[in-house]
Amino acid sequence: MKIGFDHKKYLEEQSKFILERVNNYDKLYLEFGGKLLFDKHAARCLPGFDENAKIKLLHKLKDKAEIIICVYAGDIERNKIRGDFGITYDMDVLRLIDDLRAYDLDVNSVVITRYDEQPSAEIFINKLERRGIKVYKHKSTKGYPTDVDTIVSDEGYGKNPYIETTKPIVVVTAPGPGSGKLATCLSQLYHEFKRGNVAGYSKFETFPVWNVPLKHPLNIAYEAATVDLKDVNMIDPFHMEAYNQIAVNYNRDVESFPVLKRIIEKITGKEAVYKSPTDMGVNRVGFGIIDDEVVKEASRQEIIRRYFKTSCDYKKGYCDKETADRAKLIMDELELKESDRVVVEPARKYAAKLNEGNDTNKLCSVIALELENGTIVTGRSSDIMDASAALILNSAKSLAGIADDLHLISPMVLDQILKLKKETLGYRASGLNSQEILIALSICAATNPAAQAALDKIVCLKNCQAHSTTILPSSDEDTFRKLAVDITCDDVYQTESLFYGN
């Protein structure tokens, strides 16, 4: 993989800039946008970026920082899913706490925002409190967003309980957007100033990158990643007016800035130090780019990947037509084609050949994967295993230099597993999926050196690109996610079944 980003340089620059901002206050509330851990979007768009860069940055500052995690009660109630992990937001909060503790970071508390006694939120609060996690409940802020006098009063932010903090940097993060991070920061600011403390607010959001051109593929990739939020990048007019300098921001930050500025001025009783929403940010990611062409190409590939994901989400009913159309418009804006993703055409051509004259209600699915050396490997579905399972075996064979016709798993073992699935467990779609084939391979590796050689190569699939001609079952999606394979799918179901086999 060609490197376009200097992770070490970025960490040094970023930590230095945050500490400079902290020096202006007794306490800095730092809103962390995007993913605190496993920022796979940034890692894909900025080759060389560590997906855990933010958490490692905080680890460097651990003696000065503590963490507040926000989650919107409505997201708990409707079981909102974090797409890159396939888990609900409340479960992601638990995962986040565990991961932060693993980096020796102090988790102060969890804030349930816009709380209105939702039953699922109550259950989650009980779960946290009974495990020793401090929980605060913040209701919707009266008067927000226009009535500043009410917002900044005992009837507004004053209604929220004050979160006791002890360290100079208080990081406010969340599983995803719309979780109430900003409101929590401003509520804390209100309480700090009522107590006579000099506190400040800043925002740490990786995208869009303020010092990269507006139409740079890196910034357009951010729009592709947030089509469901309808985010649009734009030149920050406040920054231009104050400094006569071009800076890129996005519509929500620009639109909310005048009100946000008034709220901060009302809280502090003096003119805001920030002249623009860009001023509020502490992001230095643009200074870590060392090869712009590499970043541009990686970002174009991410836009295509996001387009496929949005198309499948629309087919599944997870997003509306406007969102899907927006993803296509972004593709057209950069004159990108589906076939610009190199694994798409090999998969489609092989599938077209296999499905020629197919008069059944089930398509033969094909997945193509590009290995690190540029070799394209394919896997097809059959009665014995699905395309994901076949692809993993074929890829492992290729990497280990094992002949394609050599059995890594004994046919007798496969027959017994298939019999168990069909006759004992009652599965209609009895072919082995990717997880089952990996378990079978690992068992056979105990007595078969070739199977062990193939198993040892599975780790080499990390960061490989793949494409499926049909929508994957959730079990296979999960396996590819764990293997860190970036896979896209055509928005086609393999079968007409609405439940079985999907």
The count of other CB atoms within 10 Å of the CB of residue 360 is 9
**Parallel, antiparallel or unpaired: strands 87-88 and 486-489:** unpaired
- The pLDDT assigned to 470 comes to 97
Helix-, strand-, coil-residue percentages of the chain, each rounded to 5: 45, 15, 40
280 within a domain of the structure (yes/no): yes
Question: Token pair for residue 73?
Answer: 């009660």
Q: Read out DSSP for 303-352?
A: HHHHHHHHHHHHHHTSS-HHHHHHHHHHHHHTT--GGGSTTHHHHHHHHH
- Residue spans of beta strands (DSSP E) within 27-73: 27-32, 65-72
Amino acid, single-letter form, for residue 502? N
- The pLDDT assigned to 156 comes to 96
The residue assigned the tokens 């680890």 is: 59
How far does CA 240 lie from the centroid of its chain? 31
- CATH number, domain with residue 355: 3.40.140.40
Are 391 and 274 within one domain? no
**Which residues span the domain enclosing 24?**
7-210+251-288
274 within a domain of the structure (yes/no): yes
391 within a domain of the structure (yes/no): yes
294 within a domain of the structure (yes/no): no
Least trusted range by pLDDT, from 31-40, 391-400, 437-446: 31-40
Are 400 and 472 within one domain? yes
Are 373 and 263 within one domain? no
Are 74 and 175 within one domain? yes
Number of domains forming the structure of the chain: 2
> What's the CA gap between 136 and 161, in Å, rounded?
7
Question: For residue 498, is pLDDT > 80?
Answer: no
Question: For residue 360, is pLDDT > 80?
Answer: no
pLDDT in tens, 283-323: 999 999 999 999 999 999 999 999 999 999 999 998 999 99
Question: For residue 382, is pLDDT > 60?
Answer: yes
- The pLDDT assigned to 329 comes to 97
Q: Who has greater pLDDT, 49 or 357?
A: 49
447 within a domain of the structure (yes/no): yes
Taking residues 452-469, what's their average pLDDT?
97
Are 284 and 346 within one domain? no
Kindly report the pTM of this predicted structure: 0.91
Are 15 and 139 within one domain? yes
The residue assigned the tokens 């009913």 is: 317
- The pLDDT assigned to 308 comes to 98
33 within a domain of the structure (yes/no): yes
Burial group, residue 190, by CB count within 10 angstroms (0-12, 13-18, 19+): buried
Are 282 and 359 within one domain? no
Taking residues 3-31, what's their average pLDDT?
92
Question: For residue 1, is pLDDT > 90?
Answer: no
Are 52 and 198 within one domain? yes
- The pLDDT assigned to 500 comes to 56
Q: Which of 124, 121, 61, 137 is nearest to 97 (CA)?
A: 124
Percent of the chain with pLDDT strictly greater than 90: 81
Question: For residue 502, is pLDDT > 70?
Answer: no
470 within a domain of the structure (yes/no): yes
> What's the CA gap between 308 and 229, in Å, rounded?
17
Question: For residue 428, is pLDDT > 90?
Answer: no
Q: Who has greater pLDDT, 304 or 38?
A: 304
- CATH number, domain with residue 22: 3.10.630.10
237 within a domain of the structure (yes/no): no
